[in-house]
Structure 1
Amino acid sequence: LALCLADLSRTILVKYLFVSVAAVFAFNILICGSRNGLLGLVSVGGLGIIFMKRISRPVRIGVLALLVVSIVGFGIANVLSRSDIQGSGLTGDASSESRIVQWKACIRMTLHHPLLGVGPNESRFNMVDFGGVRGLMPHNTLVQVFAETGMPGGLFFVMCTIYPLWEAYKFFKINRDKMADPSVVLYKYLIIALVSFWVCAFFSNRVYFKILYVLVALIVALRENILTKQQELIPTCERERPSVLSNKSSLQSN
């Protein structure tokens, strides 16, 4: 949101104020030692900075270089210093080793219940029966949704969240000359947020986060709104063109 507001702002002071707000958020993520947060910072921060259009290229390159140095030199070191990563064994919900065990258990659930799954939010309570740790979340949205809703539900979830990205690719390919339009800028950052979801989805439980479905709905609605406005301009141009041609023909006849 901060990067989007910075990209939309026309005043230099306001623009760099929002960039500073984004830097504060990035700093908080770096010091918290969250692996998922670090992935989100890489995807949202990196893509947001790369595709900003109203900030000069040297500034963007400098900010991006600072982000990379901060992640490599400080963020990763913070993550590796966590006790649950240094230790061994299944130490609880934060354990890295337990996640692999839970992922395998979810895959077994999908194979045993391919049509309907084990039920919404029931995978953690069925872990023991499939070789996992009872009560421990899988920390992988994709394997969780397939385990709990079966193959049909899993495929629907993937299509529901991937299709807007495919449509966005086609949209940006056609509308490269309209990237400065405020609606398109907002659409761009919503897409970056959805890309970030998929980057983080393999290491977190996001299937029951309502904000995900709100994000997909906003993306679809905003895209339709932009396309509707573009379609409204086409008939006007077509109406003007015949009148221009008729004027030319009348002038030639005279």
Structure 2
Amino acid sequence: MGKIALFLLLVVNAFYSLANPWFGVCAGYLFNILGPQYIWWWHFQGLRAFYLIAVPTCVGFIFSSIRGALNYEIIKNKLVLFAVLYFLFVFLSYFTGPYVNVINEWRFYDPYQVLITMLKIFVFFFMGLVCISDNKKLKLFAFILPVAALYLTYWANMQYLSGRFFIRLQGPHDITGAGMYRDENNFAMLFVTAIPFFFYLGWYFKRWYLRWGAWLVVPFAWHAIFLTASRGGLVGAAFVSFLAGIRSPKKIIGFALIPAFIVAYVWQGGSTIKERTQETIIKAEEETSAVDPRLEAWEAGLKMFLAHPFTGVGLASFGQAFPDFSDAKPKVAHSTYIQILAESGIFAAFSYVFFMLSCLWGLFRFRDQFSAGSFEYYLCDAVLVSLCGFLTCALFLTLNGFEIQFYLAILANTLIYLAKKQSVISER
């Protein structure tokens, strides 16, 4: 019965998306961020659900473009230019990288599958940039991450209360072990990027029970991060809580976030994440950089870049190339920036950095074009803090395929576009 209901829901969405591709974009991002195929996997067996969302959305996008119903003005900016250049250089690195076709025991990922995944991410990202172009669509799109994170916060805490996890909590995955949140760091990053949304939605809501309800999710999201025992997630949670606090409309409540986070960590942090954090501190004090695994990976990555500065070693080829650039045991890059630099070259890395900086600068610069207390005003801060948390964690986590960053970039692009329009209207 559940599979029939799911199929009917997807069919209705498909027909609606043919005429309104923006709705299909919203459905696609909800599907990709929530991952229902891993939570309720038994309903999705034998059903290619994402394709039933993606295909009619793409067809609807083409038809809407032909009849002039889409606003391409929204993508005429440097932010989108850098984003397109980034994807272009990443795709080129698949065809030009010398290690893409190398097959050895350190081939952590199939480069072709990673290429297909990146193509899917780019297509939906580009359609999202064009389709989410007004306040109404923006508002619906902006609720995707908090809605998905709200359910997964509940899911994570229920695993704790029922005792259905061991040592470190992984995200939902099916019986084969497949799941985008199978990696604890990725699962933790979902909550890191969502916490600012709950905090600023609390300020936006006027009714007290909605405001305090949104704020109440924050400590449970902290607890979900603690359960993953992700050190990167812990740093990210602390950073976004601190940044949200200092950018709070009321400083007293904002600054209360910092001691609240410390209390939550001491009280509910759990032994696993505390032991891993203490282990990190001890290693930092005792070990030299030559034997630090993360620094070994960074050193190897920089050597890959110096040997292949323009093309990189090839998309998803960090592991294959590692033995030729280091005597250490091959490992992942442990840094989004190092991985992009090593695998796709200097142009991809610079494009990515400028793409993200364009998002941050635009949000910071144009937030005050919106009236204080408006949804867009608080959303600017939520996206800004969320991106800052993500980019900080990206220094020491491999997150270049983390789709939420592109979701946040769409929100940033739309907010900047609407703010500029508002600025022009105000000047007249």
Which of 29, 36, 61 is the matching residue for 2:232?
36
1:103 counterpart = 2:286: no
The amino acid of 2:201's aligned partner reads L
Give the corresponding residue for 1:163: 358
Give the Å deviation of 1:68: 3.2
Distance 1:51 1:176 in 2: 17
CA-to-aligned-CA distance 1:205-233 (integer Å, 9 cap, x gap): 11122221221122012111122133224
Equivalent residue runs for 1:103-252 within 5 Å: 103-131=298-326, 132-134=328-330, 136-172=331-367, 175=368, 178-235=371-428
Give the Å deviation of 1:155: 0.9
Could you say if the C-alpha distance between residues 60 and 170 of structure 1 is closer, same or farther in structure 2, counting changes exceeding 3 Å?
A: closer
Give the corresponding residue for 1:58: 252
CA-to-aligned-CA distance 1:45-65 (integer Å, 9 cap, x gap): 222233232xx5433333332
The amino acid of 1:20's aligned partner reads L
Q: TM-score, normalised by structure 2?
A: 0.48
Give the corresponding residue for 1:10: 206
The amino acid of 1:216's aligned partner reads A
Between the aligned residues of both structures, percent identity stands at 22
Is contact 1:38–1:75 with CA below 8 Å preserved after alignment?
A: no
Distance 2:347 2:329 in 1: 26
Distance 2:370 2:355 in 1: 28
Could you say if the C-alpha distance between residues 125 and 179 of structure 1 is closer, same or farther in structure 2, counting changes exceeding 3 Å?
A: farther
**Residues 39-48 or 74-83, more deviating:** 74-83
Could you say if the C-alpha distance between residues 150 and 211 of structure 1 is closer, same or farther in structure 2, counting changes exceeding 3 Å?
A: same
Could you say if the C-alpha distance between residues 61 and 153 of structure 1 is closer, same or farther in structure 2, counting changes exceeding 3 Å?
A: closer
Q: TM-score, normalised by structure 1?
A: 0.77
Is contact 1:139–1:204 with CA below 8 Å preserved after alignment?
A: yes
Distance 1:220 1:232 in 2: 19
| Partner-residue secondary structure (3-state), 1:81 | helix
| Partner-residue secondary structure (3-state), 1:127 | helix
Name which structure has the greater RCO, CA cutoff 8 Å, separation 6+: 2
Give the Å deviation of 1:138: 1.2
1:26 counterpart = 2:219: no
Give the Å deviation of 1:77: 6.9
Is contact 2:205–2:211 with CA below 8 Å preserved after alignment?
A: yes
Aligned pair count reads 223
The amino acid of 2:219's aligned partner reads A
Give the Å deviation of 1:124: 1.6
Is contact 1:40–1:200 with CA below 8 Å preserved after alignment?
A: yes
Could you say if the C-alpha distance between residues 68 and 163 of structure 1 is closer, same or farther in structure 2, counting changes exceeding 3 Å?
A: same
Q: Unpaired runs of 5+ in structure 1?
A: 89-95, 236-254
Distance 2:277 2:242 in 1: 28
The amino acid of 1:209's aligned partner reads F
Distance 1:232 1:164 in 2: 22
**CA RMSD in angstroms, aligned pairs only:** 2.8
Larger gyration radius, structure 1 or structure 2: 1
Could you say if the C-alpha distance between residues 186 and 196 of structure 1 is closer, same or farther in structure 2, counting changes exceeding 3 Å?
A: same
